Copies of this chain bind each other. A is one copy, B any other.
Amino acid sequence: MAGSTIYDVAAAASVSIKSVSRVLNGEPNVSEALKAKVGKAVEELGYRRSLSARGLAGSSSSVIAALVDAGMTIEHWRSGSGNDYLSRLELGVLMELRQVDYHLMVEMVDYASPTLSRDLAALLSSIRPEGVLLTPPNSDLTVVLDVLDASGVAYARLGAEHELDRGTLVSMDERQAARDMTEHLIALGHRRIGFIGGPAVYSASRLRLEGFMAAMQTHGLEVPDDCLAEGDFTFAAGVAGVKRLLGAERAPTAIFGACDDMALGAIQGAVAVGLRVPDDLSVAGFDDSPSAMFSNPTLTTIRQPVAEMAAAAVQRLTPPLRARLSQEDQTAAVVVPYRLVARASTAAPPPG
């Protein structure tokens, strides 16, 4: 029942196994009659080629490995604050892969491991994936790229910023998005705006900060040091960040958090000291995590198109999907559009 092989199919169709293989692989020079015979036999037996056997014999393993960051994932889970980055990523991947009989393997990688290079090499030589999907901060680690290059796998880098000639690039314009959000706050009338940044390992942290600074500068607005805080992308960091910013010499009327969790923390921190959001203080985030839409007030944020980026990456990583793309699309770096989602946490500054 569970175990028909290519020989069974060949026998049922009275052809050679090579013919079966040819049909299954969509190779050229196959008669319609053959296709039909084989198709029928496959159908009747409910036959599927063994992933293991294909991986072993051929060059294609039909497996895409997604490397996700262990630290942040574990942290999110322990703190209970969760995060749907993973879900969104996988959804994007799975929606594409299901079309082509490829499969997803998820691996946690600890970028802080002293043996990262070895760990990764071991992983690759064991799995031999056909493509690797790199998420931040792994996308930007030279060690990681080196191992990948040495092993010869194709890989896509989500949100990479350095060494842009390596691998397939898929990202969104973080800098411009941060700039847009800052402009949004400025347009509302804010002049003193604080920023809570993320950890330096994440390229996005720097880009978002840059976007913020650029917009402020464009409008001739100053950003004193005490209007800048740094966090580690957690809710608690947002609480701490807002505390710092509100203690500034001239406290900001708006705060832009480099991620939703921190922005949400900022809201809570502000409410805790008696401020009303957005009446007394506007708060904006970045990511559009689910919590952003359920928080009170709902959070103005940037929708990071994680699933779309993952889908684009996978399309370029799997030969059958890649073939559907134009020559241009196959090689060019992909920049997926984002969206500013204005919700209730931002408004005009208080008249004071």
Contact = CB atoms under 8 A, between A and B. Distances in A.
B293 A295 contact: no
A297 B294 contact: no
A103 B88 contact: no
A290 interface: yes
A183 to B, nearest CB: 23
Contact of A127 (B98, B103, B121): B103
A80 B290 contact: yes
Interface in A36-94: 46-56, 61, 63, 73-74, 76-77, 80-88, 90-91, 94
If over half of A's interface residues share one DSSP class (helix, strand or loop), that class is named, otherwise mixed; here it is: helix
A81 B293 contact: yes
A122 B94 CA distance: 17
Interface residues of A, number: 71
Contacts of A128: 50-52
Contacts of A123: 48
A123 to B, nearest CB: 8
Nearest to A264: B294
Interface stretch (A104-112, A133-141, A174-182, A200-208): A104-112
A101 interface: yes
A2 interface: yes
A1 B61 CA distance: 18
A126 interface: yes
B108 A105 contact: no
Contacts of A118: 46
Contacts of A55: 50-52, 55
A155 interface: no
A87 B81 contact: no
Going nearest first, the 9 A-B pairs with the smallest beta carbon separation are A296-B296, A82-B290, A52-B55, A82-B84, A48-B126, A2-B151, A52-B56, A291-B294, A86-B87
Interface of A: 1-4, 46-56, 61, 63, 73-74, 76-77, 80-88, 90-91, 94-95, 98, 101, 103-108, 118, 121-128, 150-152, 235, 261, 264, 267-268, 271, 288-291, 293-297, 303, 307
26 contacts: A2-B125, A2-B151, A4-B125, A50-B125, A50-B126, A51-B127, A52-B55, A52-B128, A56-B56, A74-B91, A74-B95, A76-B87, A80-B288, A81-B293, A82-B84, A83-B84, A83-B290, A84-B87, A85-B87, A87-B87, A95-B108, A235-B293, A235-B294, A264-B294, A291-B294, A294-B294
